[in-house]
């Protein structure tokens, strides 16, 4: 039945314990309460539960995930057809030798001496190409790493904004490079840099040039690879970010600011555009507000030559991200395209819930949104073709794992979307592989070599059962994957992912148990018992904390701030060392009107984690400093 939010907007709330984790850290809670976004919340259906054997399943799963005995060291692939990606050609009957994580020989079969103790992989009737790179992802959990590898994505670039700290991505990278974790090569940033107010959730709200320089310095000191900027950055702050980035060797990647001339951003130091759709909203004057949608939209293509000149003259790279816009159009046509996809079984329950609650069909004025999406999609296809002809460096970036964009599989949708836009199969493969290597060399590490099958290049390889030059969909026919010279078979990857599915079943049962406990007279005691039963499993504990957090926000969104505070206070008692539980309580306490108590809570967040996203900005706001 309808109830009222703080803004007075009627919202249907059929279940007080709806999972709304997508509100948390993916869309600012305050935006919902202020009425800037109005979404009809409906009951969320979950995947079928399995018996609650979380600890046992977790142990088996993580043993599979991290067992590197299945990965070879040095190896040779014999009698294989190679798609080298140095030119549009196919080399038949080749022997490819990998040693010390790089390709050392690509030569005619029979002419290469193979050490007797080297692992041999039969490549007869198969095809070898470089691994795919997805340079715009939002990693939400370590589980996603194996999904990327299973789909042949051997390099990813984490652009922040997923609620997963950048420091975790650096931890994953160290583990992968050391050979103790299965996953793609990772480039990463930490928090996004935005203006005042920050539009991006958890972003740095950067008001001065001095702030910008200090943050960029910190990114460099912490070991990140680039800077991501967002919509509300001012021109003086943008200039300071660019200058500091040049000094520190960090490229500037992201959205195009809405606050000044987009051509100035491209001329004055932005290295890459995270979505071509940014040009729709800025340079080609696409409608930003659905409230002010025109009856029709016709982009002025007379402006295109000047844009291409600026992009090429200033070496600005572009991520078309056609799959994001097409995915939205597809979900509007029918959510069964997503829910019935076999890949849905490999989403963590929390991510699946976020998709169900946060997909585009929850938007108001959805018909206008889709019409605008169609205008945008047609423009993006044209721009992708024109940029390709003009030699603009384009690379794959999918925005996975936003709703409908499966980690790993989304890259294959982007491949087919690029073909639909008019690129040849070879051009698409270049965008996915060779161009990504050029991107990394140009902007991140001049010494890195990947994206081609040639001596001296990192051995990121896909062994396929069909020729990708004949049909781009053949890139999905994966027989084996090498990441940084470590080879794993598709069969091993499938077994590992089956462990994921079983593990997710146990997590879903745990979610159900937490929901039931919150309905009892003594939820604290019931949930404490569940925590004890988890036997210290970090995955299980994070699931419980997240579920209670979501229930608290659900209550707050429904207008019951007393219940929201009760649930979130319980979460701080159950997980007193988690800064996120205290931050959530602080946020709802602030909307309850108790700014003094909220300030105390935000200060406590900082005592637990001085870098917790947004907490310092809130303290500054509440103290007027």
Residue range 262-299, pLDDT digits in tens? 999 999 999 999 999 999 999 999 999 999 899 999 99
pLDDT digits (tens, 9 = 90+) for 316-359: 999 999 999 999 999 999 999 999 999 999 998 888 878 887 78
The answer to whether the CB of 489 falls within 8 A of the CB of 479 is yes
User: Which pTM value belongs to this model?
Assistant: 0.84
Provide the token pair at 606: 């900082």
pLDDT digits (tens, 9 = 90+) for 304-319: 999 999 999 999 999 9
Asked if the model's pLDDT at residue 2 lies above 60, the reply is no
pLDDT digits (tens, 9 = 90+) for 594-618: 999 999 999 999 999 987 877 888 8
Asked if the model's pLDDT at residue 25 lies above 70, the reply is no
Domains of the chain: residue spans and CATH: 2-64+496-575 (no CATH), 74-131+451-484 (2.30.40.10), 274-449 (no CATH)
462-477 mean pLDDT: 98
User: How many residues would you count in the chain?
Assistant: 625
Q: What is the pLDDT of residue 46?
A: 27
463-489 mean pLDDT: 97
Q: How does DSSP assign 263-329, residue by residue?
A: HHHHHTT--EES-THHHHHTTT-----GGG--S-----GGGHHHHHHHHHHTT-EE---HHHHHHHH
Q: How confident is the model at residue 546 (pLDDT cuts 50, 70, 90)?
A: confident
Other beta carbons within 10 angstroms of residue 538's beta carbon come to 10
3-state secondary structure of 572: helix
Asked if the model's pLDDT at residue 26 lies above 60, the reply is no
The residue to which tokens 């007279």 are assigned: 521
Indicate the range of 162-171, 270-279, 462-471 predicted with least confidence: 162-171
User: What letter would DSSP give residue 207?
Assistant: -
Q: What is the distance between the alpha carbons of residues 406 and 497, in angstroms, rounded to a whole number? A: 14
502-526 mean pLDDT: 92
504 or 235, which is more confident: 235
Q: What is the pLDDT of residue 393?
A: 98
Q: What is the pLDDT of residue 606?
A: 94
Which value, in Å, is the radius of gyration of the alpha carbons in the chain?
25
480-504 mean pLDDT: 94
Q: What is the distance between the alpha carbons of residues 171 and 186, in angstroms, rounded to a whole number? A: 10
pLDDT digits (tens, 9 = 90+) for 439-452: 999 999 999 999 99
Asked if the model's pLDDT at residue 128 lies above 80, the reply is yes
Provide the token pair at 115: 């050490």
Over the chain, what is the mean pLDDT? 87
Other beta carbons within 10 angstroms of residue 471's beta carbon come to 14
User: What letter would DSSP give residue 361?
Assistant: G
Maximum Cα interatomic distance, the chain, rounded to a whole number of Å: 78
Q: What is the pLDDT of residue 5?
A: 29
Q: What is the distance between the alpha carbons of residues 131 and 133, in angstroms, rounded to a whole number? A: 7
E-only strand ranges, 115-203 = 119-122, 127-130, 132-137, 153-158, 185-188, 193-194
Of 498, 450, 478, the C-alpha closest to 186 is 450
The answer to whether the CB of 194 falls within 8 A of the CB of 205 is yes
Asked if the model's pLDDT at residue 8 lies above 50, the reply is no
The answer to whether the CB of 571 falls within 8 A of the CB of 549 is yes
507-512 mean pLDDT: 90
User: What is the share, in percent, of the chain residues with pLDDT greater than 70?
Assistant: 88
DSSP H or E stretch at residue 81? strand 75-82
């Amino acid at each position: 039945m309808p109830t009222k939010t703080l803004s007075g907007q009627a919202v249907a709330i059929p279940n007080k314990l709806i999972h709304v984790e997508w509100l948390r850290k993916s869309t600012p809670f305050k935006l919902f309460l202020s009425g800037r976004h109005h979404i009809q919340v409906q009951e969320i259906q979950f995947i079928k539960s399995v018996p609650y054997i979380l600890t046992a399943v977790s142990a088996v799963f993580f043993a599979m995930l991290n067992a590197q005995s299945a990965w070879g060291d040095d190896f040779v692939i014999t009698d294989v057809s190679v798609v080298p990606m140095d030119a549009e050609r196919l080399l038949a009957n080749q022997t490819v030798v990998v040693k010390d994580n790089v390709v050392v020989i690509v030569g005619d079969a029979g002419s290469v001496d193979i050490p007797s103790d080297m692992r041999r992989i039969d490549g007869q009737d198969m095809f070898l190409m470089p691994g795919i790179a997805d340079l715009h992802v939002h990693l939400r959990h370590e589980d996603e790493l194996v999904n990327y590898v299973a789909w042949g994505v051997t390099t990813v670039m984490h652009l922040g904004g997923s609620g997963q700290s950048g420091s975790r991505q650096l931890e994953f990278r160290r583990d992968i490079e050391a050979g103790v974790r299965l996953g793609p090569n990772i480039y990463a940033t930490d928090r996004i840099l935005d203006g005042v107010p920050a539009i991006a959730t958890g972003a740095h709200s950067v008001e001065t040039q001095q702030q910008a320089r200090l943050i960029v310095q910190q990114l460099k000191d912490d070991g990140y690879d680039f800077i991501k900027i967002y919509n509300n950055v001012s021109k003086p702050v943008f200039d300071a970010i660019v200058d500091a980035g040049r000094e520190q060797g960090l490229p500037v990647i992201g959205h195009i600011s809405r606050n000044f001339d987009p051509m100035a951003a491209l001329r004055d130091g932005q290295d890459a555009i995270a979505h071509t759709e940014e040009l729709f909203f800025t340079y080609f004057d696409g409608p930003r507000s659905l409230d002010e949608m025109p009856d029709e939209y016709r982009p002025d293509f007379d402006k295109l030559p000047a844009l291409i000149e600026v992009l090429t003259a200033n070496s600005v790279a572009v991520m078309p991200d056609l799959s994001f816009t097409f995915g939205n159009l597809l979900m509007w046509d029918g959510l069964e395209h997503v829910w019935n996809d076999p890949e849905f079984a490999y989403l963590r329950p929390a991510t699946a819930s976020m998709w169900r609650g946060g997909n585009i069909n929850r938007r108001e004025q959805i018909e206008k949104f889709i019409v605008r999406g169609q205008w945008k999609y047609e423009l993006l296809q044209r721009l992708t073709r024109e940029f390709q002809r003009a030699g603009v460096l384009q690379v794959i970036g999918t925005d996975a794992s936003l709703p409908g964009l499966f980690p790993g599989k989304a890259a294959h949708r982007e491949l087919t979307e690029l073909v639909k836009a008019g690129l040849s199969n070879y051009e698409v493969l270049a965008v996915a592989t060779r161009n990504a290597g050029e991107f990394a060399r140009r902007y991140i590490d001049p010494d890195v070599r990947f994206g081609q099958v040639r001596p001296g290049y990192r051995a990121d390889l896909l062994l396929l059962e069909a020729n990708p030059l004949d049909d781009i969909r053949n890139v999905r026919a994966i027989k084996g994957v090498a990441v940084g010279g470590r080879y794993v078979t598709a069969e091993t990857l499938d077994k590992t992912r089956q462990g994921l599915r079983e593990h997710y079943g146990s997590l879903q049962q745990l979610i159900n148990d937490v929901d039931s406990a919150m309905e009892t007279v003594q939820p604290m005691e019931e949930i404490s018992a569940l925590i004890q039963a988890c036997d210290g499993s970090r995955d299980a504990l994070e699931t419980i904390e997240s579920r209670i957090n979501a229930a608290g926000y659900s209550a707050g969104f429904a207008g019951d701030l007393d219940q929201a505070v009760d649930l979130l206070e319980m979460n701080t008692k159950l997980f007193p060392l988690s800064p996120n539980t205290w931050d959530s309580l602080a946020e709802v306490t602030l909307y309850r009107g108790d700014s003094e108590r909220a300030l105390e809570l935000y200060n406590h967040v900082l005592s637990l984690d001085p870098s917790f996203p947004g907490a310092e900005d809130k303290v500054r706001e509440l103290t007027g400093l």
